[in-house]
Homo-oligomer: A and B are copies of this chain.
Amino acid sequence: MARQLFELCGTDPARRFSPYCWRSRMALAHKGLEAEVVPWRFTEKAAIAFAESDKVPVLVDGERRVADSWAIAEYLDAAYPDAPRLFAGAPAAQRFVNTWSDGVLLPALAKLIVSDIPPLLGAEDRAYFIESREKRFGQPLDQVTAGREARLPEFRALLMPLRLLLRAQPFLGGAAPDYGDYCVFGTLMWPRIVSPLPLLEPGDAVHAWQERMLDLFGGLARAAPAAAA
């Protein structure tokens, strides 16, 4: 059976924007593994029920089904120990980068870009997305992102630990990227795909790192259609 990765998209299957799916897509590339893209929409819960998950990414690898981006990364290093490792030491050390991406970076991004997503979705998914996100934020999505340009400096300040690190070394993983890089980079692919908002300033060490990441694997991520021209 071929290897498959279920990835979130909207009406356009080429516009895959999930921050978690991008972590797994980059992790597969790091390991040198191909995987067919299976486009998946928010309301297609039935299509991934076989993996005992209601969220993507879901990886199908022969007889194995793995849900959750962190579990997929651990699985890939265990199943393919001879391919370049995602975790230089134990996975423990990268986990803080992962929880920071989930608990700090992603919520901050959501408040800047969540209103850019509904136009990319089909009717059924759009209704689901708007209802679930308005419930989460307690207000209409346009109000969540109102005045977002003025909040960019605050967002950029949040990236400071990353910036300090990237002044000291080229990648979170050191001389070369590892799964810590993919956690942060994958999260930043989400706004890149869906929003025209210019999040990073050209002089920022984080911007320079993002450019290096976009070039990896023959420009795999750069080739994805971005919202900003």
Contact = CB atoms under 8 A, between A and B. Distances in A.
B99 A173 contact: no
A175 B87 CA distance: 16
Contacts of A173: 90, 92-93
A202 interface: no
Contacts of A102: 161, 164
A95 interface: yes
A67 to B, nearest CB: 16
B178 A96 contact: no
B89 A165 contact: no
Number of copies: 2
B87 A180 contact: no
Interface residues of A, number: 32
A100 B165 CA distance: 9
Contacts of A171: 92
A88 interface: yes
Contact of A89 (B88, B96, B104, B175): B88
A13 to B, nearest CB: 32
A167 to B, nearest CB: 9
A169 interface: yes
A168 interface: yes
Contact of A90 (B88, B95, B163, B164): B88
Interface string A75-110: 000000000000111111111111110111000000
Contacts of A178: 92-93
